A and B are shown apart, each in its own frame.
Chain A
Amino acid sequence: MTDQRAAPDVDKALVARILLSGDRRAFELLVRRHQGMVRAQLRRLAKGDDARADDLAQEVFLLAWRKLHQFRGEARFATWLYRIAYSCFLQAQRKQPAVVATIEAEDPPTPTTPPETIELKVDIERAMRRLSDAERVVLVHTVQLGLSHEEAAYVLAMPLGTVKSHARRGKDRLRGLLAEWQLPSQQDKRP
């Protein structure tokens, strides 16, 4: 298993190899290392339109190949890719607004999943869709992708204070929308 603390150094070393000698094999390694999370990010942003998200992800990596000399190593490589991905998503969104897929079509419940888990998942998904775009996008990046507020501000090109207030407001609204699931008591059940 890859040591998470060493990951940024590995990325930087791979970037250096590409810049120095145009090593395609090093770039392939970078794509393999990061495609999963970049595609996950874009799938969340595309609200279930996975094919569109994957097309965008391809564009993101092609753009990363062209723009690699602009990566200065101040942010993590993953964060830099998220920034490109978010920018590509916004550009695509301006050209062709996404068609929101239905929750049922995107994630059919399996017979082995307990019914209350399915209901909760569907309710969370619905609640997320009732947030404003900014609140949803901030929560996706800070909570689901695990970025710090500073990193999210860099990715989303938003002031840090705005990111924090969207995160706070988004969580408050989710708390209201999911009130019937008795969130604090769920917390108590956790080990």
Chain B
Amino acid sequence: MKEPTEEAIEALLREEFVGPVPDGGFTDSVMARVPTSRARSSWPTLAGVGAGTAACWASLWSAPFTQTGWRDLASGYPTVAAVVLLSAMTGMAILAMAWSVAEADVEFR
């Protein structure tokens, strides 16, 4: 049960609230900015990422430097080629992580 003063405070606050704002062209300006199609399909992005990764892998795999680096890395020798390869992989992983964090969207449920 509310006290009389509490009800009086609420009544004052409600009186002070001016209520809904008249439209005044607001809806039209929102609709002018709303994209024509609601959901973008994600398959072109995924296909692009897949194709890019495959092309990158194919061109690097045939290079002797990559093969040497990979072999040294697998056998645990820290040669220049192995370190360069490891640095490149780490750099790409960090970039991918930063991009994912930047693109991450808040969910509203």
Contact = CB atoms under 8 A, between A and B. Distances in A.
Contacts of B5: 175, 183-184, 187
A184 B30 CA distance: 44
B30 A70 contact: no
Interface stretch (A6-14, A34-42, A92-100, A108-116): A34-42
Contact-residue size bin, chain A (C-beta under 8 Å from the other chain): 35 or more
A143 B31 contact: no
Nearest to A43: B21
A93 to B, nearest CB: 15
Contact-residue size bin, chain B (C-beta under 8 Å from the other chain): 35 or more
Interface in A39-95: 39-40, 43-44, 54, 57-58, 61-63, 65-72, 74, 80, 83-84, 87
Nearest to A125: B16
Nearest to B6: A171
Interface of A: 18, 22, 24, 27-28, 31-32, 35-37, 39-40, 43-44, 54, 57-58, 61-63, 65-72, 74, 80, 83-84, 87, 120-121, 124-125, 128, 139, 143-145, 171, 174-175, 178, 183-184, 186-188, 190
